[in-house]
């Protein structure tokens, strides 16, 4: 049974274990719940860039900072479809669309995003969005359009959060996650390390994520990419050992979650990334950019996969999610039918969580 009452002290004890012991434990947990040779490849697409009114200290898309990011209006549905097809041909099974908004506003732009979701869904790909804060109604409309996941990162611990952003509260982020949970859309929520936080803050972020019930289906672990013109431009790159420890600890604390090795991979060697996969990371973002920051070329990633014997994961096949099909895949295959994917129903878990409050 998944543990939902982790404390900061317990997580720090895991994080600070001797590295070889930590890696062994994390790899053991990973193999219990996941295929150790399967890694999901996702593509992150900035459908609306720049001009954000927020003051996130790490973000080059904030309108108040002077960076080299060139803003653009919302992409068209056809442009997004073309990018999704390109991503699919390169091995991606998920497209995550990001818009530099503080919150979603009802109107023509949101209607266009809904059409983008429907369009990519028809390509037999997982669709994820990160659009800022959502209301319950907006989350439901995205669900009805076929959205598979919604990304809304906590960024860091509640205690350190005010050092990173002042224009949105930590509780605002939790509320958006709660609004998504009222639908059948899965939750993707993680954070960034290397923003000047202490190890205790990294543990605090994992406490906040792991005590959600249910836990997020996906947790991105990002290393800060310091961008000139942002308040965090002087921060030093995160040591690869910190990333390995963070990935391993996340895997142990949230065993069934997909752990995403996200921003900062251009600063990591293949050997470092391999240790992250061994420690439990089973998802990456491919493509030359993550919204606006650099990312390894997809051909480099495929070469790395070949060297490590890793296989790109097919969409909708993650074993970490509760089974919601009426028959197993082998049973359906024997009948000559294609397995039909449905999202997990978390109603029972939500009710139990409400009773325990």
Tell me which residues are annotated as active site.
52, 56, 59, 96, 128, 188, 260
Distinct helix (H) and strand (E) counts, the chain: 12, 12
Q: Is 20 left (phi over 0), alpha (psi -120 to 50) or beta?
A: alpha
Q: How far is residue 195's CA from residue 209's CA, in Å, rounded to a whole number?
A: 18
Pairing status of strand 258-261 against strand 218-223: parallel
Q: How far is residue 267's CA from residue 237's CA, in Å, rounded to a whole number?
A: 8
Quote helix, strand, coil % in the chain, to nearest 5.
Answer: 40, 15, 45
Per-residue DSSP letters for 139-203?
HHHHHHHT--EEE---BS-TTTGGGT-SSS-HHHHHHHHHHHHTTT-EEE--EEE-SS--HHHHH
The 10 Å Cβ neighbour count of residue 312 is 17
What is residue 98's three-state secondary structure? strand
Q: How far is residue 69's CA from residue 121's CA, in Å, rounded to a whole number?
A: 29
Q: Vertex 295, ends 81 and 195: CA angle to 5°?
A: 120
């Amino acid at each position: 049974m998944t543990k939902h009452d982790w404390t900061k002290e317990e997580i720090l004890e895991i994080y600070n274990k001797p590295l070889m012991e930590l890696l062994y434990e994390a790899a053991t947990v990973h193999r219990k719940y996941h295929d150790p040779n399967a890694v999901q490849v996702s593509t992150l697409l900035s459908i609306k860039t720049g001009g954000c009114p927020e003051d996130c200290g790490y973000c080059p898309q904030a309108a108040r900072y002077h960076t080299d990011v060139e803003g653009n209006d919302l992409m068209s549905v056809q442009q997004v479809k073309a990018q999704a097809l390109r991503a699919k041909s390169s091995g991606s099974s998920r497209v995550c669309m990001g818009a530099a908004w503080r919150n979603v506003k009802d109107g023509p732009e949101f209607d266009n995003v809904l059409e983008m979701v429907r369009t990519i869904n028809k390509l037999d790909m997982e669709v994820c969005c990160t659009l800022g804060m959502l209301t319950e109604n907006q989350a439901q409309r995205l669900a009805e359009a076929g959205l598979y996941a919604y990304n809304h990162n906590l960024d860091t611990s509640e205690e350190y959060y005010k050092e990173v952003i002042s224009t949105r509260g930590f509780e605002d982020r939790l509320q958006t996650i709660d609004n998504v949970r009222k639908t059948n859309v899965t939750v993707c929520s993680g954070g960034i390390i290397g923003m000047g936080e202490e190890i205790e803050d990294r543990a605090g972020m994992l406490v906040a994520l792991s005590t959600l019930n249910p836990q997020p289906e996906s947790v991105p672990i990002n290393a800060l990419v310091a961008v000139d013109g942002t308040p965090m431009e002087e921060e030093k790159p995160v040591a690869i050992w910190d990333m390995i420890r963070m990935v391993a600890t996340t895997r142990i604390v949230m065993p069934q979650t997909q752990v995403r090795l996200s921003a900062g991979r251009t600063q990591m060697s293949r050997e470092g990334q391999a240790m992250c996969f061994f420690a439990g990371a089973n998802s990456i973002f491919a493509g030359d950019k993550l919204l606006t920051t650099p990312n390894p070329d997809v051909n480099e990633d495929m070469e790395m996969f070949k060297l490590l014997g890793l296989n790109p994961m097919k969409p909708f096949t993650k074993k970490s999610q509760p089974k919601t099909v009426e028959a197993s895949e082998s049973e359906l295959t024997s009948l000559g039918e294609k397995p039909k994917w449905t999202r997990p129903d978390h109603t029972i878990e939500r009710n139990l969580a409400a009773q325990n409050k």
